[in-house]
């Protein structure tokens, strides 16, 4: 797709320095609704909480998110994972397969493009989730095993 025919969500992911590999989710991926509930459900316990008011809070979110993404492991052997595009209506778009050639500061890059560091990512095999969330006065890192 070229120029004005390109979906805006694709442009957003590219501006976040993500390489888009496809918009068809593997059959093993959890439903988008299931993943959203794993991040925003009433009983969700974050693995990291970063007060948004501290200096360099988003950079600490970057550090914590990448730490837990590596533990998941979120990335496969090719450095690929699935992400819900961090745009209005992203949940309707569904999972998009991407790689992250930059390799660091993903929440910061998403915040610079979208205005918020929030996003949900899942391993290509659909088993490991690592998400960044904004909750009142804090940034959360949330992990989940499906």
For the chain, list the strands marked E by DSSP: 19-22, 48-51, 80-83, 96-99, 119-122, 128-135, 138-145
Residue 17 lies in a domain: no
The model's pLDDT over 108-132, given as tens digits with 9 standing for 90+, comes to 999 999 999 999 999 999 999 999 9
64 contacts 58 by C-beta, under 8 angstroms: no
Average pLDDT, the chain: 94
The whole-number pLDDT of residue 1 equals 44
Count of domains observed in the chain: 1
Residue at 11 is within a domain: no
* pTM of the full structure: 0.93
Asked if the model's pLDDT at residue 24 lies above 80, the reply is no
DSSP 25-52: --TTSPPHHHHHHHHHSTT---SEEEET
Q: Is residue 64 part of a domain?
A: yes
* Res. 146: pLDDT tops 60: yes
- In angstroms, the CA 146 to CA 141 distance is 16
Flag whether 59 is in a domain: yes
Give Cα separations from 82 to 60, 86, 87, 98, 144 (angstroms).
23, 12, 15, 6, 14
In this predicted structure, what is the pLDDT of residue 27? Answer: 84
- Structural domain harbouring 61: 32-145
pLDDT of residue 9 exceeding 70, the answer is yes
């Amino acid at each position: 797709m070229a120029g004005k025919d390109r979906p805006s969500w694709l442009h957003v992911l590219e501006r976040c320095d993500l390489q888009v590999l496809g918009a068809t989710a593997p059959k093993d991926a959890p439903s988008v609704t299931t993943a959203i509930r794993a991040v925003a459900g009433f009983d969700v316990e974050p693995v990291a909480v970063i007060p948004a008011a501290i200096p360099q809070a988003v950079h600490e979110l970057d550090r914590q998110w990448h730490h837990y993404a590596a533990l998941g492991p979120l990335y496969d052997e090719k450095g690929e994972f699935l992400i819900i595009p961090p745009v209005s209506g992203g949940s309707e778009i569904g999972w998009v397969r991407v790689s992250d050639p930059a390799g660091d500061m993903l929440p910061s890059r998403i915040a610079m493009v979208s205005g918020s560091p929030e996003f949900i990512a899942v391993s290509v095999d659909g088993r490991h989730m690592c998400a960044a969330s904004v909750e009142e006065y804090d940034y959360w890192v949330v992990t989940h095993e499906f």
